[in-house]
Each structure stands twice: as structure tokens, then as C-alpha cells.
Amino acid sequence: MIVWLNGTHGSGKTTTSDFVQQLLPDARVLDAEKVSEVLMDIKPGLPATDNF
């Protein structure tokens, strides 16, 4: 099962994932912002955007 939480910054995704993980103890959490940080390090850079 995959539970995908989506929303704007500050909407409570991390807090919600903490609660879901308590309900599903074998669950794993992937913070997609970590993937975005890696993509920002690609050289030559990706096209500029104002959306993280």
C-alpha cells in the first residue's frame, strides 16, 4: 500500500505522516523534498523556477 500525502508548504504533511506511521508501524516515510534537493544539484542546472 502506498499512502501519498500532497500539499503546500506548512499544510501538515509531515505531522500527518507521523500519525500515519504510528498507525502503520511497518510504514516507511519518504520526504520528497529530499529528492528535490538532489535534483537541484544536477550540473548543468535545470531551468530556473520559483517553485521549490
- For residue range 4-35, list pLDDT tens digits in order: 898 888 899 999 999 999 999 888 888 888 88
How many separate domains does the chain show? 1
What's the CA gap between 12 and 45, in Å, rounded? 30
Residue type, 15: T
Across 1-13, b (16+ Cβ under 10 Å) vs e yields eeeeeeeeeeeeb
Domain coverage including residue 3: 1-52
Neighbour count for residue 31 (Cβ, 10 Å): 11
Taking the model in full, what pTM does it have? 0.60
What's the CA gap between 28 and 9, in Å, rounded? 21
